[in-house]
Amino acid sequence: MNLSERLNEDMKQAMKSKDKFKLSNIRMVRSTIKNLEIDLKRSLDDNEVLDIISREIKQRKDALQDFEKAGRDDLVANAKAEIDFLSAYLPEQLSEEEIKVIVQQTIQETGASSKAEMGKVMSALMPKVKGRADGKLVNQVVQQFL
């Protein structure tokens, strides 16, 4: 079962169980997917759906920081719950140690030796960790090694 089918099945279950939280989050993701499919005039594959889910999680993490600064505890709790819910659709996340190993290998492959070559390292690295690691964390690890 691909990711789009899984979202459809989970939406049906949320409707049956009258779980408004899950239902609204799944509908939001499906809406984004459908709009992109209409724009591209084709169905999306799992990688593209993962990109959308990752983007939605990133938006919520950014909003979470704003809510925390503003002291909006009600919105903080909701944003955390949405992040946790959407994260269940991502592949298992890499640990920081696993990321470090992949970063070291990529630095050796690209021959990068300074922070000026960070873009080259990141462009080679991100496809390897796509959907399995947060971009900010990967960026920090790369900076440690360069």
Position 29 pLDDT exceeds 80:
yes
Residue 107 CA to residue 104 CA, distance in Å, equals 5
Verify that 79 and 106 share a domain, yes or no.
no
| Integer angstrom CA distances of residue 82 from 22, 55, 58 | 9, 13, 11
- Which element (helix H / strand E) includes 49? helix 46-70
CATH of the domain at 107: 1.10.10.410
- What pLDDT score was predicted for residue 53? 93
CATH of the domain at 24: 1.10.1510.10
Domain count, the chain: 2
Domain holding 132, by residue range, is: 96-145
Tell the burial category of 18 from Cβ atoms under 10 Å away from its Cβ (0-12, 13-18, 19+): exposed
Verify that 30 and 81 share a domain, yes or no.
yes
Verify that 39 and 108 share a domain, yes or no.
no
pLDDT tens, residue by residue, 42-64 = 999 988 999 899 899 999 999 99
Verify that 61 and 112 share a domain, yes or no.
no
Phi, psi of 140 (to 5 degrees): -65, -40
Verify that 31 and 82 share a domain, yes or no.
yes
Confidence category of residue 145, pLDDT binned at 50, 70, 90 = confident
- Averaged pLDDT, 18-23: 96
* 3 SS3 class: helix
Position 1 pLDDT exceeds 80:
no
Verify that 76 and 116 share a domain, yes or no.
no
Nearest CA among 75, 109, 35 for reference residue 117: 109
Residue the block writes with tokens 């938006």: 59
Verify that 82 and 25 share a domain, yes or no.
yes
